[in-house]
Homo-oligomer: A and B are copies of this chain.
Amino acid sequence: MTKELQNQQIILAKRPSGMPAAEHFSFQDAPIANPEDGQVLIQTLYISVDPYMRGRMNDEKSYVTPFKLNEPINGRIVGKVLQSESDQLQVGDNVVGMLDWKKYNVTSASNVRKIEETGAPLPAYLSVLGINGLTAYFGLLDIGQPQKEETVVVSGAAGAVGMIVGQIAKLKGTRVVGIAGTDAKTDFLKNELGFDDTINYKTTDDISKAIAASCPNGVDVYFDNVGGPISDGVMNHLNDFARIPLCGAISSYNRTDGDLGTRIQPKLIKSRSMIKGFIVGDYSDRFGEGMRDLSTWLAEGKLNYRENIIEGFENVPDAFLGLFKGDNLGKQLVKVAEE
């Protein structure tokens, strides 16, 4: 079978300094090996593009290894098994896992997880029922520990993680304020997801004042997806014993200057607050619990989500680059082939 297929891959052609661009990626034809014992051949259906991948384009120590120059980019993919040399997976199974940006991957069956039929559409396994949903779930509930009637602020609120954070926080009985960058996004958060208030940071002169107005009782939990000046503003309004799950700092990822801001230590001391960086993989032994709750809420209609699906393997780099323009509402995916 592998002989009939035309494979293509996207490699890291250059390392960016600052904002990444099309020139940092390159398309190549690629061979397909015959699956060996224990391996499967997987056709890529959906590719997830995520802000954290920007960090992997740098050649520096982090929680994930850097992408290698002239080798394929690697990320979350939903695919279908076309050929199986493993008794763990059957032809026709849908799977999710960390795979190369290729139209076809040959990999060990244990590298991917079979998607069981739950009625949820396949792309959901790259968003609300995938890493994004689990990130929201564990960051908010384990680190943020929102209590009834507290105030929860979410930055990057219309992003794939932020919109789930806000909805879980509402399910826990809190007041939720979302920060996003367009009126379309803030309208969506208020009208479709039930956020109590929103701030459009692009049309707001003073984030700190806007937070004061939106959070008359101060901030108890700040789920931070963005860092930078937005977070500087929120930090002025922490209540005593506030908790700050630190999920991302997209405003810093492409900066080549010093990323200077007012030091937050004095504010953390005054309010005895806690801030903690995390990645979802830190909770891998509890994914079952998270998936159970997220699936239940989704099935009960308590979780709304939004995906922005572009078609075509050739558009994967553009979809990734779009993440840093602040345009995307919800999860950005690329559909590569029909299910």
Which residues from chain A sit less than 8 Å from chain B, CB to CB? 55, 61-63, 224, 227-228, 231, 240, 246-249, 252-253, 258-266, 268-279, 282
A240-B63, A252-B263 in contact; A279/B268 too (CB < 8 A)? no
Given A63-B240, A240-B63, A275-B275 in contact, is the A227-B270 Cβ separation under 8 Å? no
Instruction: Let me know if A63 and B270 touch, CB within 8 A.
Output: yes
- What is the CB-to-nearest-CB distance from A95 to chain B, in angstroms, rounded to a whole number? 28
Residue of A63, A228, A272, A279 with most chain B CB atoms under a 10 A cut-off: A272
B272/A274 in contact, CB under 8 A: no
In the complex, which of the residues B258, B260, B269 contacts A246, with contact meaning CB atoms closer than 8 Å? B269
Cβ contact within 8 Å between B259 and A263: yes
Given contacts A272-B279, A278-B272, contact A265 B62 (CB under 8 A): no
Q: Provide the residues of chain B in CB contact with A272, threshold 8 Å.
A: 63, 276-279, 282
**Bound state CA distance, A249 and B31, in angstroms?**
58
> Known: A248-B269, A269-B248, A272-B279. Is A262-B262 also a contact (CB below 8 A)?
no
A223 to chain B, nearest CB (A): 13
Min distance, Cβ A281 to any Cβ of chain B, angstroms:
9
Asked if A265 and B63 make an inter-chain contact with CB atoms under 8 angstroms apart, the answer reads no
**How far, in Å, is A275 (CB) from chain B's closest CB?**
5
15 contacts between A and B (CB under 8 A): A63-B240, A63-B269, A227-B263, A248-B269, A252-B266, A260-B262, A260-B263, A261-B261, A264-B264, A265-B277, A269-B279, A272-B276, A273-B276, A274-B277, A275-B275
Known interface pairs A269-B249, A273-B276; A259-B262 also in contact (CB < 8 Å) = yes
Q: Do B277 and A270 touch across chains, with their CB atoms under 8 A apart? A: yes
Cβ contact within 8 Å between B260 and A269: no
Say whether B266 contacts A249, CB under 8 Å: yes
Identify which of A227, A247, A266, A268 gathers the most chain B CB atoms within 10 Å of its CB.
Answer: A266
CA distance A247 to B270 in the complex (A): 10
Report the minimum CB–CB distance from A62 to chain B (whole Å): 5
